[in-house]
Amino acid sequence: MDSKLTSTAYEECVAATASIVNPAVEQWCEGGGRVVGYFCSHVPTEVISAAGLMPFRMRGTGSDGTELSDAFFSSINCSFPRHTFNLALQGGYDFLDGLVCISSCDHVRRVYDNWKRNLQTPFLTIMSLPRKVEDAQVGWYHEEISILREALGKHFDVDISDEKLWDAIKLHNRTRRLQREIYQLRKGRTPVSGAETLAIMVAATAMPRSRYNTLLEEILVELRQREPRNGYRARLMVVGGELDDPSWIETIEEQGGLVVADSICFGSREMWADIDESLEDPVEAMAKYYIQDHPSCPRMYGDQPRRREYLMNMVREFDVDGVIGERLMFCDQWCVEHYMNKADFKEEGIPFLQLDREYISSGKGQLRTRIQAFLETMGK
């Protein structure tokens, strides 16, 4: 990926984003560290960190096909779980000591069934994620987090005390605050591109958290001294779900659109709020965060009005000229959400473009054409 950021800290983040078994993971494992994979930004990664394990968010980065996973998924299943499971069947995830699946959607939910029957990962569990954001669901998720805490402690023979949970919460909150500082820089002079930002964000899910925080601090020093980006035609926002490929954003920016904001699960929805450190029970604090405080996605019923307010606030705060809605093919949840987003943005006079895509980037010529046309319709 072409970038004007030159620090070794940024290069380390890019390396962690560009592949699955990256240098940070290799170093962690060589030192005797154990790794637990997880799906979805609703998984309480603080519990994994509190157990002395490294949380690793599952991706299909580097996959070149789905010939093995196609025996377990149909052609109308989302390509994200198909590519990710294909990598696993090829041995790409043999470094995992455990995996936490979650009922985030029907497509990802099926990964657990197939993984359990066909792979030999030592620790495997699945969490039940509620579909509403009310107090009853906070209590539900409190139980789920407690079950995960007990299961991890028992399997890895570690005591996951409240003190360790609070330490992990503070560590992850530190990450969120540093990431928000990068986003704050994008509101005005904007010294960082959307592609660079996504690479930095994805790296958080693919290396030890303490190391990542150190890198973020170094990157922020460079960004504060960097000249603002000029020459762009429009300030854009990207809204969607599973987007972990900076090259997709880069293609948009090559056409003259600077991505200055997002609402994606590898982006702002991952860190726009902190876990409340003032509560007495760390499990309650995590349950409340992941169900109510954590910005939701379309799988959460009845929360669309709040999501609308969140998007409109982002548009205003980041001075956005137009919004791009990205959706993985066959994703029902985002299909419905973007239908509502389109109506909401039209009401507010904000240009909106929906783009459907496969998980592994293809058809970049078509993407360029669509973006060029979108910018022209905006008068840009």
Domains in the chain (CATH in brackets) are 33-160 (3.40.50.11890), 164-188+233-377 (3.40.50.11900)
- pLDDT the model gives residue 378: 87
Confidence band, pLDDT 50/70/90 cuts, at residue 295:
very high
pLDDT tens track for 232-272: 999 999 999 999 999 999 999 999 999 999 999 999 999 99
Measured CA to CA, the distance from residue 47 to residue 87 in angstroms comes to: 26
Q: Which two tokens stand for residue 32?
A: 């005797």
Question: Which H helix or E strand runs over 28?
Answer: helix 23-30
Of residues 9, 7, 63, the one with CA closest to residue 203: 9
- pLDDT the model gives residue 3: 65
Sign of CA dihedral 126, 242, 311, 342: negative
Per-position b or e across 36-64, b if 16+ CB within 10 A of its CB? bbbbbbbbbbbbbbbbebbbbbbbbbebe
Residue 361 has pLDDT above 90, yes or no: no
Q: Which of 10-14, 193-197, 340-344, 359-363 shows the lowest per-residue confidence on average (mean pLDDT)?
A: 359-363
If phi over 0 gives left and psi between -120 and 50 gives alpha, with beta otherwise, what is residue 338?
alpha
* Helix, strand, coil fractions of the chain, as percent rounded to 5: 50, 10, 40
Taking all residues of the chain, what is their mean pLDDT, rounded to a whole number? 95
Residue 119 has pLDDT above 80, yes or no: yes
Percent of the chain with pLDDT over 90: 92
Average pLDDT over residues 280-289: 98
Residue 380 has pLDDT above 80, yes or no: no
Confidence band, pLDDT 50/70/90 cuts, at residue 2:
low
- pLDDT the model gives residue 177: 98
